[in-house]
Homo-oligomer: A and B are copies of this chain.
Amino acid sequence: MELIDGNVIAASIIAELKTAVSALAGRKPCIALVRVGEDPASISYVRKKEKTAADIGLESRIILPPVSIAQTDLEKLIDDLNADPAVDGILVQSPLPKHLDERTIFRRIAPEKDVDGFHPLNLGKIAQEDPTGFVACTPAGIMELLARSGVDLAGKHVVVLGRSLIVGKPAALLALQKKAGANATVTICHSGTRDLPTLTRQADVLIAAIGRAEFVTADMVKPGAVVIDVGINRVADASKKTGYRLTGDVHFSSVAPLTEKITPVPGGVGPMTVAMLMQNTVKAFHQRSRATR
């Protein structure tokens, strides 16, 4: 069994981006980070993104509208960022306060600046295998983890557990693409799947993104499989000062010994998402430069 170390892989991607960005003459790629309100987790996520952007040498613009901002005002703010030629990528930190319509806001972001990859046009481009689209950061991170761990999906059976719009479906569509590293046979299972263990046991590569703590147990995994654990769940743990520990969707201690490779939680998929956001921002910068040249 080999651990797929997301921290190490994310660090190499960030280092590569830093080299690439330092070689750019003229203005640097710029990401706008929009955070509405003072949710502590959002504050920490945005700070991490800002810091990583700075490490790489990207510009960032932090925009902090008040928690009471009206839908139309936030839309106007997005429109201004869409129109601003100095902004390459726009990220609106989720979750937004309850009075705002998150989906409408995400769709308001110009697809060519949608570095979070949530716009339906970008998901459609993944389905159509159009490389100009932006892949959402978690599925993009999964594909990088696999590729950089030497896992070629060609001919393999990938079973995706979970059909969410930002993880399960794009991950399935990426694994299915007719290109090097992909070309997998793909099964998508979910909460309504019958006889789940029979299906997951067929997986050469199992991607667990169902959002239930330690849901995948040893009897559900084929010996020698590669397991990517996308879950981040809090479970009560009296032995911890915080009263909880973080765990994935996989029961790590029983499953890991069976696998060829597996991602830990934390330290697997998690660290990849910010690296992918930065990679998308650099991609947006290049695509926009080409479009306006």
Contacts and interface: CB of A to CB of B under 8 A. Distances in A.
A185 B189 contact: yes
Contacts of A129: 165
Contact of A163 (B120, B163, B176, B187): B176
Interface stretch (A22-30, A192-200, A237-245): A192-200
Nearest to A122: B124
Given A169-B173, A185-B187, A192 B127 contact: no
A7 B188 CA distance: 32
Contacts of A133: 120
Nearest to A170: B127
A186 interface: yes
Give the size range of A's interface with the partner: 20 to 34
Interface of A: 119-125, 127-130, 133, 154-155, 157, 163, 165, 169-170, 172-173, 176, 178, 183, 185-190, 192-194, 199
Nearest to A192: B183
Closest 5 CB pairs of A and B: A124-B124, A120-B124, A123-B124, A187-B187, A185-B193
A176 B155 contact: no
A197 to B, nearest CB: 13
Contacts of A130: 120
A192 B155 contact: yes
Which interface residue of A125, A154, A188 has the most chain B CB atoms within 10 A? A188
A186 B173 CA distance: 12
12 contacts: A120-B130, A121-B121, A121-B124, A123-B124, A124-B124, A124-B127, A127-B169, A157-B194, A157-B199, A172-B188, A185-B187, A185-B194
